[in-house]
Amino acid sequence: MAPIQSNGQHATSSLDALSELYGNTFSVIKSMALKAALDLGIADAIHHHGGAATMAQIATRVTLHPSKIPCLRRLMRVLTLSGIFAVQKPAPGDAAAEADEAPMYTLTPVSRLLIGAGNQRHMMSMLLHPCFIAPFFRISDWLQLELPEPCMFKHTHGQSFWEMTNEDAAFNTVVNDGMASDSAFMMDILVREHGEVFQGISSLVDVAGGNGAAARAIAKAFPEVKCSVMDLAHVVADAPRGTGVEFIAGDMFDSIPAAHAVFLKWIMHDWSDNDCVKILRNCKKAIPSRDAGGKVIIMDIVVGVGPSDQKHRDVQILFDALIMFVNGVERDEQEWKKLFVEAGFSSYKIMPVMGFRSIIEVYP
């Protein structure tokens, strides 16, 4: 009987492996289902009905042909599988609800991030934009080319990410809106929960700070800190006015305006080690000595640092794969340390307080 049992165990193991293989292959459907939910406004539809809605109620709030309601039900199945939405179970003893076969779909902590103030719709829409997704269909071709050029994005689209944001106004809006939504969400947590990072400084320049969402949050929370944003001329030209934040046109590879502190939010992972060292050396020139309180404040991923649960680790690894599209890299502590030493800084402190991202203070 032993061989039969062994064969049976082998078959079970193979079938489990096959299910896992299919699961990985179908992961893209989860992403596309989320994109559809964003495009259709499904979270808003459920929120409109008090946070719980039937399929018929959702269908009345989204642009949908009546014949596609069964297809929407299948989409919602995927979205509940992903944890974007949940299905509400009838309360025990609620005979009327139990008799009603229509499921009630509810918001989850994940989908609540897609509604209301500080929502992450624009950020997720940016990451799920076809221009972001397309390069990964050609990753195997790109891997056969020598670094550094073309980057994966340019290999696919014929121009770099930065060239496209400069020349395509619609795409530039998608990117700016995405980064602004991330800044609004993350900066609210940073200034509210970890405001000590900005205490004791009199001025701060947000390098490559886009439309100034991060700098505005700092200025609002700490009015004693003079905040400015330095970015490329075409970005500064479209920046909002009358916000209390100064906008300066410039290139971080040339020089950075003098300030008590320099802020780099999600910038360094876009660039090679050599480029990062150039940026950091310019930061060091812009700030006073450590004794005078000078420092560089970096918000970025430190791979392997932060909450130990699997979901945070997974996001760090997946972000490292994503950022290859601009020849970028997410770094572990030793890789960060190497940059700081080469740029001439004396020490640093990592604070893993921002989920899968960290705050790093770097001192001259």
- Indicate which residue of 65, 122, 269, 312 is catalytic: 269
For residues 317-322, average pLDDT: 96
Q: Assign domain 120-363 to its CATH superfamily.
A: Vaccinia Virus protein VP39 (3.40.50.150)
Confidence of residue 202 (pLDDT cuts 50, 70, 90): very high
Q: Which fold has domain 12-89+100-113?
A: Arc Repressor Mutant, subunit A (1.10.10)
For residues 156-165, average pLDDT: 94
pLDDT digits (tens, 9 = 90+) for 88-115: 976 665 554 555 567 899 999 999 999 9
- The answer, yes or no, to whether residue 3 has pLDDT greater than 60, is no
Q: How confident is the model at residue 90, as a pLDDT?
A: 67
Share of the chain above pLDDT 70, in %: 95
Per domain, the residue ranges of the chain are 12-89+100-113, 120-363
Q: How confident is the model at residue 1, as a pLDDT?
A: 41
For residues 298-314, average pLDDT: 92
pLDDT digits (tens, 9 = 90+) for 126-148: 999 999 999 999 999 999 999 88
pLDDT digits (tens, 9 = 90+) for 232-279: 998 888 888 888 899 999 999 999 999 999 999 999 999 999 999 999
Is 269 an annotated catalytic residue?
yes
**Cα 191 versus chain centre, distance:** 19
- The answer, yes or no, to whether residue 68 has pLDDT greater than 60, is yes
- The answer, yes or no, to whether residue 4 has pLDDT greater than 50, is no
